[in-house]
Amino acid sequence: MSNKRKQKLPAEQEFHEELERLRQQDQHPVPPGWRMSPVAVETFVQGDDALGIARKFICPPGVIKRIVVALCTNRGALLVGEPGTAKSWLSELITAAVSGDSSLIIQGGAVSNISQLLYTWNEAIVRDRGPCVEALVPSPMLRGMQQGRFVRFEEIARCPQPLQDSVLALLSDRVITIPELEGEGGVIYASEGFNVIATSNSVDEGVNRMSAALKRRMNFETIQPINRLGDELDVVVRETDKLNRKGGIDVRLPPEITEMLVTVFHELRTGQSLSGRSTDRLAGAAMSTAEAVNVAHAVCVNAFYYSDGVVTPESLMHFILGSALKDHPEDRRRLQHYFDTEIAERPGSHWQSLYAHRDLI
């Protein structure tokens, strides 16, 4: 399929030129099985203006380095955080840089037995020839071990604890035994470059709790929401423009609309206004940076198709409500209180225009 028809390109394709430039200029030691050095991987994620490498992830100093160093070991890395903190995006970026292929993904909520984690069989071949290497259907985990690539394990805490512990056994032993196969074909050793980078939602763990052994034995890194409003504004503008270009939406959010959107999300997420006053946090909505990008894009889509490209505070309010009010009835009261105590007092016609539509809550 042509890249023009794909809704989303994997990081290794979207940033192919940057990755190749970094590989060619990389003068640092490269771990076995990796495509570039840890220094180059960190540069790819955090950017370097001098090299023409865009910044792709915002976090406190040292976070990316700790994760990359952890992945140089046999322990793997576990990224934990609230919804919308871009844990999956970070794992995709690192995997694209290290392995050149971020497509080996396991979804924790879809794994309920060991065969889904490791391998299954092609029943037609088994009936005809019995268990053999050709009948083996490897999982992304097994392919990662065979090919020496990173495996991304999304929402690992959503699969049963015995399967979580099985991942630890794979990381420790670096081998899978297939009892149905005899001889060397029944033992698969991990190739250099194999490792696991997992993510887990710290707010909604689902049916299963995270294995205590997993917490102890994988390198644990908490991914925090973006703290600085200016950084969050930059992310929302950049990602919204990217989504608009991909969808053919010839609309750009006015700066004052972007400021209001990001400020409202930031304050409702942190429970504190920019002036330092405490505000109500919403119980049923994450109000994350990723959600702010979705709202910004929806506002632009609405303007493009329904309002001749004009973005209004009223349309912004509609989409903020769609994101903020989920299944907690008390959140409506909290949001009303926030608008009455914070937004009503903000100077500027754009803030007053937003407050004028408070009756929509």
271 burial (CB, 10 Å; 0-12 / 13-18 / 19+) is exposed
Average pLDDT, stretch 131-151? Answer: 95
* pLDDT at site 206: 55
pLDDT in tens, 22-53: 999 999 999 999 999 999 999 999 999 999 99
* pLDDT at site 168: 85
**Strand 150-154's sheet: what is its strand order?**
105-107, 150-154, 195-201, 77-81, 219-223
CA 299 from centroid of its chain's CA atoms: 23
* pLDDT at site 314: 94
* pLDDT at site 241: 95
Above 90 in pLDDT, residue 126? yes
Q: E strands within the chain?
A: 77-81, 105-107, 119-121, 136-138, 150-154, 175-177, 187-189, 195-201, 219-223
Question: Which pair of tokens denotes residue 235?
Answer: 């992310």
pLDDT in tens, 288-322: 999 999 999 999 999 999 999 999 999 999 999 99
pLDDT band at 74; cut points 50, 70, 90: confident
Residue with the two structure tokens 């088994």: 126
Closest by CA to 77, choosing from 201, 217, 203, is: 217
pLDDT in tens, 263-285: 999 999 999 999 889 988 888 88
